[in-house]
Structure 1
Amino acid sequence: MEKLGPFFNLIGRILVAALFLPAGVSKLANYSGMQQYMESGGVPGILLPLVILLEIGGGLALIVGWQTRIAAFLLAGFCVVSGILFHFQPEDQIQMILLMKNIAVAGGLLVLVGVGAGTFSLDQRRMSRD
């Protein structure tokens, strides 16, 4: 099982990124609607380009394993903050489940911060050349 660790790391990075890439693309497709949604939650809509950049750029960084620890750290923070801002509604069980999903994803991302991208990554190739 230990020999499969590098493959599991790669697959895990891809699966986590699968949450962020489509989310970022959908925000691009529905920019004004998403901007209004953010503002309804008290978040300035002017921050939407940063959110899109983080979701798409961070998702791609996870997949290829580039600056993985930084990308995972930023995405973990995003998960916690956005979860609290948009899903912390104790009277609504569905929203609380979504909050816990964000917290769980942040936990997985923090594991990536700790272990790094692993064997199949640009980070590893860069370290091998140094």
Structure 2
Amino acid sequence: MTARLELAAGRVLLAGLFLAGAVQKVMQPDTASALLAGFGLPEWLVWPAMLFNAGAAFLLIANMCLRPVSRALAFYCLVTSAFHFVPSDPWQMSIMVKNWALAGGLLVLSASTMDRGREETRLAPKR
């Protein structure tokens, strides 16, 4: 695979996860709402989270604003990992660690971009 194709495939795969999260919030908002309520947060926050997931996924696929979007998604993953810190539940703990890994991958994606009006993917080191 060429670097350009690998980066495009990586962006689409990452976007797929966030797009699936947006669809899940639309189809089953009660699940995410209950999670938010359990932490004392307003249940209506599920809707801005859904919009953020969908919008960020679109921007990843479109190769637009990669640095700020990747950073915002990494932060989102780190913050939402707190919801899954349930030491007595191995499944929740694995989701928490998955969120950390996603944050790491998103930060790598952010680092692989450079500013040129619309952020583009850097394919070769700067000289």
TM bracket, shorter-chain basis: 0.7 to 0.9
RMSD: 2.0
Which of residues 84, 96, 99 in structure 2 aligns to 1:87?
84
Q: Which residue of 2 aligns with 1:58?
A: 56
**What are the Cα deviations for residues 56-89 of structure 1, in whole angstroms up to 9, with x where unaligned?**
00011101111111111111111111111x1111
| Deviation of 1:54 (Å) | 1.2
Q: Please state if 1:114 is matched with 2:111.
A: yes
Task: Give 1:40's match in structure 2, choosing from 21, 38, 41.
Answer: 38
SS of aligned partner of 1:17: helix
Displacement of 1:32 in angstroms is: 4.0
Normalised to the residue count of structure 1, the TM-score between the two structures is 0.81
Query: In the alignment, what sits opposite 2:75?
Result: 77
Measure, in 2, the Cα distance between the counterparts of 1:33 and 1:101: 19
CA drift of 1:42 comes to 2.7
Which 5+ residue runs of structure 1 have no aligned equivalent? 125-130
- Asked whether the equivalents of residues 74 and 104 of structure 2 are also in contact (C-alpha less than 8 Å), the reply is yes
| Equivalent AA in structure 2 for residue 113 of structure 1 | S
Paired letter, 1:96: M
Q: Distance in 2 between matches of 1:27 and 1:76?
A: 19
Identity within the alignment, %? 33
- 1:12-68 alpha-carbon deviations (Å, 9 max, x no partner): 000111110011011012234432332123322232222111110001110111111
Note if contact 2:67-2:119 (Cα within 8 Å) is conserved in structure 1: no
TM-score (norm 2): 0.83
Alpha-carbon distance between aligned partners in 1 of 2:76 and 2:49, rounded to the nearest angstrom: 8
Larger RCO (CA within 8 A; separation ≥ 6): 1
CA–CA distance in structure 2, aligned partners of residues 16 and 47 of structure 1: 22
> How many residues were matched structurally?
118
